[in-house]
Structure 1
Amino acid sequence: MGKFFKIGCIGLVVIFLLLVVLVMFSSSDEDSEVTVTDNSDSQSDTASTEIETTEEEPAESKEVGSRSNPVPLGSTATITGNIYDEESNSFDATVDITIKEVKRGQEVLDILKAENEFNEDPADGFEYMMVTVEANVKEAGTEDFAFLISNGDFDFISEDGKTYEMISVVTPDELFEEIYSGGTSGGNFVGQVKIGEKVTLGYEDGDFKNVFFATQ
C-alpha cells in the first residue's frame, strides 16, 4: 500500500512540473509578439493587431513582423529597444517605428545628386532606394539617456534572402537620431537594390529579434 502511495505521489509531482513548464513556454510566446498599428485611416489609429494563427497555416508564416508577413508600409510596429548610459548599463524602452515613405529609381538619384553632385550613379542593373523612417520612444526606463536609431540599424534584404551590402552616399536628413523618452524623430537612409525587386527591410530589436518591414 505504502509503495503504491509513493508512486502516486511521484506521478502527481511529475504532472505538476509538466504544467509549470507549459505555462512558462506559453508566457514566453506572448512576450515575443510584435504589435502593429494600421495607420491607413483614422478609425484604426488606436487599434492594435497582434499575431494571429490559423489551423490552415503554421504560426511562423502569420507572425506580424516576420519575413513572410512583414509590417505593412505605413503601419507602426511597437518594439522593444535598449538605451545605454555612459557605463553601458542597459534600460528597456518601448519604441514605435514606422516606415513613412519609400522612393526608388531615378527620383532618388535626382535627390542624391541635388544633395551632393559627387554621389555616384548606382551599378548596372541596380537602383537606389530611399526610406523615410519615424521613431517614437513611448516609454523608457530612464529619462536621462537617449535611444539611438540610425541607418546602420536597418538591412535591405533581397527576394532570395540575401542582405545587400551597405553603401556610402550623402543623404539628405540622414537617419542618425538620439531620442529621449516621450520624443519623436526620424530621417532617411538609402540602399542600392536590384531594379524592380521586391525588397524587405530588417531591424533587430532590443530582444535580438528580427522585425521585418515591407517597402511596397
Structure 2
Amino acid sequence: MYQAREMRVLGMNVGKILAVVCILIGIVLVGCVSEISTKPDETPESQPVKTQTRGPRGSYENPASIKETVVVRTLSGTFEITVLDCIRGEKAYQVIKASNMFNPDPDQGFEYLLVKVRFKYALGKASQYVSAYCFEAYCDGTGYSPAFVVLPKDMPDFKDVNLIPEGMVEGWIAFIVPQGKDILIAYEYIFEPVCFIKI
C-alpha cells in the first residue's frame, strides 16, 4: 500500500518536472526563432540644424575670464576656481630664467605661461586633495600639463594640499604652450576637465 502511494507521488512529481522542462524548451525555441533587426530604418537623411547655444559660464563653449570665479559642483563638493593673473611670452621666460638658470627653454614655437590660480573648497563633507596637476592648459584641443620649473620666491607655486570645507590655496603654475595662441586653463576632476578659463 505504501509502495503504491509512493509511486503515485513520484509519478506526480515527475509529471510536474516534465511539464516545467517542456515549457522551458518551448521558451528557448521561441527565443531562437525570433529575429532582432539591427538594420536602421530607411528614412530620408535630414540635415542637422545648427544653433548658436552657449553653455554655462566656465564651460568649454563659454569660458570664464581672468579674475572671474567659476563655481564647480562635483560629487566631492563645491569648488570656486579663479585665475587671478597671468604672464606669458618673453616676460614669463625672463622670470623663469632669472629664477633658476637650469629651468628648461621651451621648444621652438612654444612659450612659457605663468598662471596664478586660487582654489577654494566652498562646500563639502570630506577633505579634497588638489595640486597644480589638477590643472591643464588647452590649446587647439590639446592639453598641456604643468611644467616642472623652479619659480622665484616672490611667486609662490601652487602647493599640493588637502583642503577641508572653507579651505583655500593660491599660487602660480607654469605651463609651456604654443606661442601666441588662445589658451584655456581647465580644472580637471577625476581626469576630466570640468571648467575652463580663457587666458
Same fold (TM over 0.5): yes
- Give aligned pairs, total: 146
Deviation at 1:208, TM superposition (A): 5.1
Q: Which moved more, 1:176-185 or 1:120-129?
A: 176-185
TM-score normalised per structure 1:
0.60
Unaligned runs of 5+ in 2: 1-50
**Is this contact kept in 2: 1:133–1:187, CA < 8 A?**
yes
Identity %: 26
Aligned twin of 2:62: 69
Could you list the runs of 4 or more consecutive aligned residues of structure 1 that deviate by over 6 angstroms after TM superposition? none
- Tell me which amino acid in the other structure corresponds to 2:131: S
Q: Counterpart of 1:139?
A: 123
* Counterpart-to-counterpart distance in 2, 1:118 and 1:81: 39
Could you tell me which amino acid in structure 2 is paired with residue 104 of structure 1? R
Pair 1:174 & 2:157 matched: yes
2:84 counterpart letter in structure 1: K
Give the match for residue 57 of structure 1.
Answer: 52
The one of 71, 88, 103 equivalent to 2:87 is 103
1:148 aligns with 2:129: yes
- Structure 1 unaligned runs (5+)? 1-55, 83-91
Asked if 1:162 is matched to 2:146, the reply is: no
TM-score by length of 2: 0.64
Range with greater deviation from structure 2 (114-123 or 205-214): 205-214
Tell me the distance in 2 between the aligned counterparts of 1:208 and 1:141.
22
Structure 1 match to 2:16? none
Quick one: distance in 1 between partners of 2:146 and 2:95? 19
Deviation at 1:119, TM superposition (A): 0.6
> What residue in structure 2 maps to residue 6 of structure 1?
none
Per the alignment, do residues 186 and 57 of structure 1 end up closer, same or farther by CA in structure 2, a change over 3 Å counting? Answer: same
Among 185, 206, 214, the alignment partner of 2:169 is: 185
Aligned residues of 2:146 and 2:173 also touching (Cα < 8 A): no
